[in-house]
Amino acid sequence: MSDEKEWYSAGEAAKLLGITRGRLAQIRQQGRIEGVPGGGKHVRYTMYHISKLRTVDLSDRRGRRSKSVA
């Protein structure tokens, strides 16, 4: 019998990917990944989504200004 679950919460999916829930939400909002609405604001993920997420560039694509040295 497998320990694999059918559905994972955002927290569980983020932990499996080694990122924060906030980062997972950002990536989803950017359209780089998908989740399944699970009622209210909660999004659920399947192992299919998590496996697919592992192939996505999880880096932060927001432009960062370099700090100027005074």
Task: Single out the residue of 57, 48, 4 nearest to residue 26, CA to CA.
Answer: 57
Would you say residue 6 has pLDDT above 60? yes
Describe the crossing of helices 10-17 and 21-29 by its angle, rounded to 10 degrees: 100
**Residue range(s) defining the domain that contains residue 18:** 8-53
Residue 58 within any structural domain of the chain: no
pLDDT of residue 1: 43
Q: What is the pTM assigned to this prediction?
A: 0.68
Alpha-carbon 8 to chain mean position? 11
Query: Has residue 35 got a pLDDT over 90?
Result: no
Number of domains in the chain: 1
Q: Is residue 69 part of a domain?
A: no
Place of tokens 């780089």: 32
